Chains A and B, each alone.
Chain A
Amino acid sequence: MSLFEKFETAKLLKSGLATAGADPTGVVFDTLNSPTEGVVDGRAIILAGTNNYLGLTFNPECIAAGVAALESQGTGTTGSRMANGSYASHGKLEEELADFFQWPHAMVFSTGYAANLGVLTALLGKEDVVLLDSDAHASLYDGCNMSGADIFRFKHNDLQSLERRLTRLKDRANRCLIVIEGMYSVLGDCAPLAEIVALKNRFGAKLLVDEAHSLGVYGEQGRGVAEAQGVLDQVDFIVGTFSKSLGAMGGFCASRHDVLSLFRYVSRPFMFTASPSPAVMATTREALKQLRTRPELRASVWANARQLYGGLKALGLELGPEVGPVVAVRSKDRQTALANWNQLLESGVYVNMMLPPATPGGGSFLRCSISAAHSAGQIQTIIEKFSKL
């Protein structure tokens, strides 16, 4: 087998996707007119698959902050914080994130993916154990794999499955990190965090929660599912991203443990990556400020989520288990999903297509993500387009 032969599988996948019309992995937006409107192949499109939960990508204050940072500090940092030093805005954002979670420490990474790699490889070593939810994001799998720890999966959101695995660990349980997400990104279902916290306390394990898709949307202050379920003070590490509700790019970890302040000396994905640019730090800081001071954004996301979920449910479609900012519509098979995704795009609605193997239960889904910036009329249009499939 030659070096390149392994790409035959990818070639087959690519050609299979293209036969149904547009390639869902290769959509190009000619222009973006707002957080919810774009143009694809000259057609006006409603954006219903961008994870732009708070709709802040075109927020005037965020843009002004980014422009000011560009003009005053330049386009990039041209290196890592370990080698080139930090900009004041890196430290400011870390202070603001720590304050947001009311914890002593936060650390900024260049992407959400890098945050998960950076935190898991710093925290875990060969003698340690991870219990990983089976539906966890690829970045969590990759970080666990890179760490060298023993990895055992438990069934998605299944407390009995988690408890059995904690029991099997015996005295290794106190070297165990449970890794889960607050809200899972494909189906939009939330972890039973209060119960998971009770288990981790009983067995003396630690808990990391990825709030990438729940930050800004769940919890009274927008801190995520852990806050919404009243157990934030018992979670050990929160990781998340700036690229969804904060409309920028980058990732973070926050913790109530002092050990997080030492991660920057041992975390290779942090040490050997260029730090986030000044403009990214500026727009993220402004977006975080808006997240904290404009609860009406959360109210809008939830109103839109209820409208979309209710409307699609009334059509008799099979949806994810709970109302939330992600609404997943199950297709009967892969080909139907591909055909329906193309029809939606042609009729002016962009959603995400989720195909196995990277999906729960091996299903095929059309995944919508809701924004505070969607109008009621846009949500109604999305429902109407689904009704014609």
Chain B
Amino acid sequence: MKLSTKKVAGELATILAEYLKKGWVDTPASKQAITPETNMVSNLQMDSFQVMEFMLEVEDHYDVAIDLESLSNIQTILDLAGVVIAAHSE
């Protein structure tokens, strides 16, 4: 099944919002609304480790394998959606 970027970005925004509610990223910035354009590092102030931990959730949700190297190309939810779709099509 082919995934659409818009649909995946929307789902990822929801997954990230749920993830942030667990309290791992506890900054005022982390409580703002998440959109496909949200930058996880500069907007939400997530550090590199927190982004990596979130990736584990994403991998399991979509049952895809995301290489650690891909992380350097991911800043926004849209970036992440692109990586998920690429991994899903492999």
A contact set with B: CB distance below 8 Å: 132, 134, 144-145, 150-155, 161, 164-165, 168-169, 356-358, 361-362
Q: A164-B63, A165-B65, A169-B65 are in contact. Are A362 and B24 (CB under 8 A)?
A: yes
Is B47 an interface position by the 8 A CB rule?
Answer: yes
How many Å lie between the Cα of A357 and that of B52 in the bound state?
11
A153 and B49 contacting across the interface, CB-CB below 8 Å: no
B68 and A152 contacting across the interface, CB-CB below 8 Å: yes
Is B3 an interface position by the 8 A CB rule?
Answer: no
Q: A134-B52, A161-B60 are in contact. Are A356 and B47 (CB under 8 A)?
A: yes
A362 and B63 contacting across the interface, CB-CB below 8 Å: no
Contacts of B66 in A (CB 8 A): 152
B49 and A357 contacting across the interface, CB-CB below 8 Å: yes
CB contact between B48 and one of A132, A154, A169, A357 (< 8 Å): that residue:
A357
Contacts of A169 in B (CB 8 A): 65
B49 and A152 contacting across the interface, CB-CB below 8 Å: no
Beta-carbon nearest neighbor of A169 in chain B:
B65
B50 and A362 contacting across the interface, CB-CB below 8 Å: yes
CB-CB contacts below 8 Å: B52-68 with A = 52-53, 55-56, 59-60, 63-68
Contacts of B64 in A (CB 8 A): 168
Contacts of B50 in A (CB 8 A): 357, 362
Beta-carbon nearest neighbor of B66 in chain A:
A152
Contacts of B65 in A (CB 8 A): 152, 165, 168-169
What band does the interface of chain B fall in when counting residues whose beta carbon is under 8 Å from A? Answer: 10 to 19
How many Å lie between the Cα of A327 and that of B50 in the bound state?
24
CB-CB contacts below 8 Å: B15-60 with A = 24-25, 47-50, 52-53, 55-56, 59-60
CB contact between A153 and one of B48, B52, B63 (< 8 Å): that residue:
B52
CB distance from B80 to the nearest CB of A (A): 16
How many Å lie between the Cα of A151 and that of B60 in the bound state?
16
B53 and A152 contacting across the interface, CB-CB below 8 Å: no
Contacts of B25 in A (CB 8 A): 362
B67 and A151 contacting across the interface, CB-CB below 8 Å: yes
A357 and B68 contacting across the interface, CB-CB below 8 Å: no
Beta-carbon nearest neighbor of B53 in chain A:
A134
Q: Sample 22 A-B pairs with CB under 8 A, ordered by A number.
A: A132-B68, A134-B52, A134-B53, A150-B69, A151-B67, A152-B66, A152-B67, A152-B68, A153-B52, A153-B55, A155-B56, A161-B60, A164-B60, A165-B59, A168-B63, A168-B64, A169-B65, A356-B49, A357-B47, A358-B49, A361-B24, A362-B24
